[in-house]
Chains A and B, each alone.
Chain A
Amino acid sequence: SQQGEEDPQALSIQEGENATMNCSYKTSINNLQWYRQNSGRGLVHLILIRSNEREKHSGRLRVTLDTSKKSSSLLITASRAADTASYFCATDAVGNEKLTFGTGTRLTIIP
């Protein structure tokens, strides 16, 4: 079964607004990563957060991790048209030897 599931499946917002997407997972993790996938392209790593971290920033990205709720959120501030893409979380579950991806949130930024 999937470890990570993103919510919502799709999100459309106006350029300049903030976008928030969530990832929930089932079992304890060591790390959680977020990736972006532009249409027809491969995934690009955005940020990694460790299980003992609660928040990380990278430019306009802010990731939070709540291990008690087994969830993470990715916030993109001041969205731009170029942020239109699918966003995936990937978890490294304790005792598992592979990275498991969710099905992604498709984000559309309306100019």
Chain B
Amino acid sequence: DTAVSQTPKYLVTQMGNDKSIKCEQNLGHDTMYWYKQDSKKFLKIMFSYNNKELIINETVPNRFSPKSPDKAHLNLHINSLELGDSAVYFCASSQEGFLNEKLFFGSGTQLSVL
């Protein structure tokens, strides 16, 4: 079984549309994250949740709204998609959210905005 799974793997959409990416972890971890990887492979944190509570909210446009219905799920909804949103989005989890813990990543969602 995949530890951290996210869907869809590929998402191609038009500018202005609204889309969601789903993430689930079956590791029993308390903390989940969304990262964005740009075309230069730079990986930047967007959000983190611990037990459904928002912990980190980086300077991300408010068009991006994470939702954590329970600690095993963290979804990402994006409104009014723009060309610059094209990137690979990774979900990740860690046991308790301490920085000396290893992160477990999903396989990514490649978002292409046309």
Interfacial residues, chain A to chain B (CB-CB below 8 A) = 2, 30-31, 33, 35, 40-45, 48, 50, 86, 88, 92, 97-101, 103-104, 106
Contacts and interface: CB of A to CB of B under 8 A. Distances in A.
A42 B107 contact: yes
A67 B35 CA distance: 27
Interface residues of B, number: 22
Contacts of A103: 40-42
Given A101-B42, A103-B40, A40 B107 contact: yes
A58 to B, nearest CB: 12
Interface in B29-87: 35, 40-45, 48, 56, 58
Contacts, number: 54
20 contacts: A30-B99, A31-B99, A33-B102, A35-B103, A40-B107, A41-B107, A41-B108, A42-B4, A42-B106, A42-B107, A43-B43, A43-B90, A45-B104, A48-B102, A86-B41, A98-B45, A98-B58, A99-B45, A101-B42, A103-B41
Contacts of A97: 56, 99
Interface in B81-100: 90, 92, 99-100
A46 to B, nearest CB: 9
